[in-house]
Amino acid sequence: MLKYLSKRLFFAIPTLLIISFALFAILDLAPNDPTSNLPITIPPEVRAEIKTSLGLDKPFHIRYFKWMEQFFINEPLNLIEEITGLEIGDSESRLRVRSWSSHSPVVDSIVERLPQTLWVVGLSYVFGILIALPIGVVSAYKQYSWFDQIGTFVSMVGFSIPTFFTGLVLIVVFSVWLSWLPSTYDTTHDITDLSSLWYQIKQMTMPVLVLAFYNAAQLSRFMRASVLENLNLDYVRTARAKGLRDRAILLKHVLRNSMLPVVTMIALGVPTIFTGAIITEQIFRVNGIGQLLITGINSADIPLVQSLSFLFAVLIVAFNLIADIVYGILDPRIKYE
Amino acid sequence: MRRIVATLLLALPILLLGSCSRETTPEAPDEVEGNENVAVSTLDVDTHLKILYWQGPTTLNPYLSSGTKDIEAASIVLEPLAHHDVDANMVPILATEIPTKENGGLAEDRTSITWHLRQDIVWSDNTPLTATDVVFTWEYCTAEGGGCTAIDSFRYVERVVAIDDHTVRIEFVKPAPYPYGPFVGSVSPILQREQFKDCLGARAKECTDQNFYPIGTGPFRALEFKANDTVQYIANTLYRDEGKPFFQTVVIKGGGNATSAARTVLQTGEFDYAWNLQVEPEILESMRGAGKGEILTGFGSQVERIMVNQTNPDPKLNEEQRSVYMDGKNAHPFLSDINVRRALTLAIDRQILVDVLYGVSGRPTCNVIPLPEKYVSTNNDDCLTQDIEEANRILDEAGWVLGSDGVRAKDGIRLSLVYQTSTNSVRQSTQSLIKDWWQQIGVETELQNFDGGVFFSTDAANPFTLTRFYADVQMYTNSFEGNDPSNYVESWKCGNVPGPHNSWVGSNISRGCSEEVDALLDALSETFDATERVEIIKQLNDKVVQNVWEIPLIHRARVSARANSLKGFELNGWDSEIWSIADWYRE
Amino acid sequence: MKLENLARADLSIQQAREHPSPWMIVWIALKSHKGALVGAGVFSFIVLAVLVGPLFYTVDPQLTDYAVRNQGISWQHPLGTDNIGRDMLAQVLSGGRIALAVGFAAMLLSLFLGTVVGVIAGYYKRLDGPLMRLTDLFLAMPLLPLLLVIILLFRDALRDIFGLEFGIFILIVFVIGITSWMQTARIVRGETLAIKEREFVLAATSVGTSGLHIISTHILPNILSPIMVSATLGVASAIITESALSFLGLGFPSDFPTWGRLLYDGAPWIGIDSTNWLVRVFAPGIAISLTVLSVNYIGDALRDAIDPRVRNK
DSSP assignments along C257-300, one per residue:
--HHHHHHHHGGGTT-TTS-HHHHHHHHHHHHHHHHHHHHHHHH
Tell me, yes or no, whether A64 and A151 share the same domain. Answer: no
pLDDT recorded at residue C186: 86
Average pLDDT over residues A3-24: 86
Amino acid at C211: G
Q: What pLDDT is stored for residue B261 in this prediction?
A: 94
- 3-class SS of residue B49: strand
Res B22: pLDDT: 33
State which amino acid sits at residue A179: S
User: Does residue A49 share a domain with residue A165?
Assistant: no
In this predicted structure, what is the pLDDT of residue A248? 79
Best of A1, A32, A301 to mutate (most B CBs within 10 Å, chain B): A32
**Model confidence over B416-461: pLDDT tens digits?**
999 999 988 899 999 999 999 999 999 999 999 988 888 988 877 7
Nearest to B118 by CA among B136, B97, B135, B103: B97
pTM, rounded to two decimals: 0.88
Q: Name A202's Cβ contacts closer than 8 Å, sequence gap at least 6.
A: A180, A181, A182
CB contact under 8 A, C249 and B450: yes
CA distance A304 to B452: 19
What's residue B139's pLDDT? 95
Would you say residue A316 lies in a domain?
yes
Q: Is residue A5 part of a domain?
A: no
d(CA C215, CA C123): 8
Q: How far apart are CA B108 and CA B102, in angstroms?
A: 10
Q: Which residues of A62-81 are buried (b: 16+ CB within 10 A; e: fewer)?
A: ebbeebeebbeebbeebeee
- Report the C-alpha gap between B232 and B488 in whole angstroms: 36
Do A264 and A218 sit in the same domain of this protein? yes
| Confidence band of B519 (pLDDT split at 50, 70, 90) | very high
Q: Can you tell me the mean pLDDT for B563-572?
A: 94
Q: Containing domain of residue A43, as a range?
A: 11-84
Please give the full DSSP string across A229-283, using - where no structure is assigned: HHHTSHHHHHHHHTT--HHHHIIIIIHHHHHHHHHHHHHHHHHHHHH--HHHHHH
| pLDDT score for C161 | 82
DSSP state letter for B191: P
pLDDT of residue B249: 95
Instruction: Measure C69 CA to nearest chain B CA, in Å.
Output: 9
Chain B residues inside the 8 Å CB shell of A54: 147
Q: How far is CA C68 from CA A305, B282, B496, C262, C280, in A?
A: 46, 14, 45, 18, 15
The per-residue pLDDT for C25 is 67
| Residue whose C-alpha is closest to residue B43's, from B221, B248, B208 | B248
What is the ipTM for the molecules in this complex?
0.89
Task: Report the C-alpha gap between B40 and B96 in whole angstroms.
Answer: 37
- Is the same domain home to A79 and A171? no
Q: Return d(Cα B129, Cα B134) in angstroms, integer.
A: 9
- The closest of B285, B477, B371 to B84, measured between CA atoms, is B371
Q: What is the pLDDT of residues B461-498, one digit of tens each?
A: 788 899 999 999 999 999 988 888 988 999 999 999 99
Find the DSSP H helices in B410-564: 425-440, 452-455, 486-489, 515-525, 530-546
SS3 B557: strand
Q: Note the pLDDT of residue A158.
A: 81
Structure-model confidence comparison of residues A316 and B460, the more confident one: A316
Residue A293 has pLDDT above 60, yes or no: yes
Contact criterion met (CB < 8 Å) for B260 and A102: no
Note whether A317 contacts C307, CB cutoff 8 Å: no
Mean pLDDT per block of 10 residues along chain C (313 residues) reads 42 47 69 80 92 89 87 89 91 91 93 94 88 86 81 79 83 89 88 83 84 85 82 84 75 84 88 86 88 83 67 39
Residue A115 lies in a domain: yes
A290 vs A48, A309, B559, C269, CA distance in Å?
A: 29, 11, 28, 25
Q: Find the closest chain A residue to B11 by CA distance.
A: A126
- Residue in B315, B435, B461 closest to C156 by CB: B315
Backbone torsion region of residue B418, taken as left when φ is above 0, otherwise alpha when ψ lies between -120 and 50, otherwise beta: beta
One domain for residues A150 and A181: yes
In whole angstroms, give the CA distance from residue C68 to residue C275.
11
Going from N- to C-terminal start, the domains of chain C cover: 104-311
- Separation in Å, CA B109 to CA B97, B119, B175, B395: 20, 28, 6, 50
Interface of B with A in 543-572 (CB under 8 A): none
The pLDDT of residue C17: 46
Q: What is the pLDDT of residue A333?
A: 66
Q: Do A120 and A269 lie in a common domain? A: yes
Residue B226 to residue A112, Cβ atoms within 8 A: yes
pLDDT for res C10: 46
Give yes or no: residues A75 and A214 share one domain.
no
Identify the pLDDT of residue B210.
94
Of B384-393, B551-560, C30-39, the poorest mean pLDDT is in C30-39
Distances (CA, A) of B586 to B240, B289, B524, B559, B564: 21, 21, 47, 20, 9
Rg (CA), chain C: 23
For residues A118-139, average pLDDT: 91
Residue A136 shares a structural domain with residue A254? yes
Q: What was the pLDDT predicted at C67?
A: 86
| Alpha-carbon A323 to chain mean position | 16
**Residue C153 has what pLDDT?**
81
Q: Which chains neighbour A (Cβ–Cβ under 8 Å, 3 or more pairs)? A: B, C
Average pLDDT over residues B43-52: 86
Q: Residue A88 — left, alpha, or beta (φ > 0 → left; ψ -120 to 50 → alpha)? A: beta
Burial class for B109, CB neighbours closer than 10 Å (0-12, 13-18, 19+): exposed
Q: What is the pLDDT of residue A335?
A: 60
**Closest residue to C253, CB basis, from B357, B433, B447:** B447
Q: Do B456 and A103 touch (CB under 8 A)?
A: no
DSSP labels, A198-236? HHHHHHHHHHHHHHHHHHHHHHHHHHHHHHHHHHTSHHH
**What's the confidence (pLDDT) of residue B164?**
94
According to DSSP, residue B502 is labeled: G
- Looking at residues B53-82, what average pLDDT do you find? 94
Whether the CB of B481 is below 8 Å from some CB of chain A: the reply is yes
The reply to whether A21 and A115 lie within a common domain is no
Chain A residues 268-287 within an 8 A CB cutoff of chain B: 270, 273, 281-287
Residue A186 lies in a domain: yes
The rounded distance, in Å, linking the Cα atoms of B294 and B562 is: 5
d(C-alpha B212, C-alpha B194), whole Å: 16
Closest by alpha carbon to C135, among A277, A320, A17, A337? A320
Least confident of A207-216, A315-324, B2-11, C144-153: B2-11
Instruction: Encode C2-22: b = buried (16+ Cβ within 10 Å), e = exposed.
Output: eeeebeebeeebeebeeeeee
pLDDT confidence of residue B40: 47
Question: What's the mean pLDDT when you consider all of chain B?
Answer: 89
C-alpha distances in Å from residue A116, one per residue of B141, B250, B330, C236: 36, 22, 56, 29
Question: What phi and psi, each to the nearest 5 degrees, are found at residue B113?
Answer: -140, 140
Tell me, yes or no, whether A162 lies in a domain.
yes
Q: What domains can be seen in chain B, in order of their start residue?
A: 1-61+218-292+564-587 (3.40.190.10), 78-216 (3.90.76.10), 299-558 (3.10.105.10)
Beta strand B566-567 with B585-586: parallel, antiparallel or unpaired?
antiparallel
pLDDT tens-place string over residues A18-75: 989 999 998 988 888 888 888 888 888 888 889 888 888 889 999 999 999 999 988 8
Bridge partners, B253 (sequence order): B52, B230
Rounded to an integer, the average pLDDT of B295-319 is 93
pLDDT band at B564; cut points 50, 70, 90: very high
What are the backbone angles phi and psi of residue A332, rounded to the nearest 5°? Answer: -65, -10
Nearest CA in chain A to B206: A103
Please give the average per-residue pLDDT across B494-507, as a whole number.
88
For residue B126, CA distances in Å to B237, B497, C248 come to 10, 50, 50
Per-residue pLDDT for B6 more than 60? no
Summarised one tens digit per residue, pLDDT across range C176-230 is 899 889 989 988 988 888 788 888 888 888 888 888 888 888 888 888 877 887 8
Helix (H) or strand (E) holding B234: strand B230-235
Distance CA C39, CA C112 (A): 24
pLDDT for the residue B18: 37
CATH of domain C104-311: 1.10.3720.10
For testing the chain C interface, which of B436, B437, B464 should be mutated: the one with the most C CBs within 10 Å?
A: B436
The least confident of B206-210, B540-544, C20-24, C235-239 is C20-24
Beta bridge partners of B478: B303
Asked if the model's pLDDT at residue B309 lies above 90, the reply is yes
Q: Residue A21: helix, strand or coil by DSSP? A: helix
Cβ contacts of B391-395, under 8 Å, gap ≥ 24: B391/B342, B391/B343, B391/B344, B391/B346, B391/B347, B391/B441, B392/B343, B392/B441, B392/B442, B394/B339, B394/B342, B394/B343, B394/B346, B395/B339, B395/B340, B395/B343, B395/B441, B395/B442
Note the pLDDT tens digit of each residue in B357-375.
Answer: 999 999 999 999 998 999 9
Q: How confident is the model at residue A299 (pLDDT cuts 50, 70, 90)?
A: confident
Q: How many domains does chain A have?
A: 2
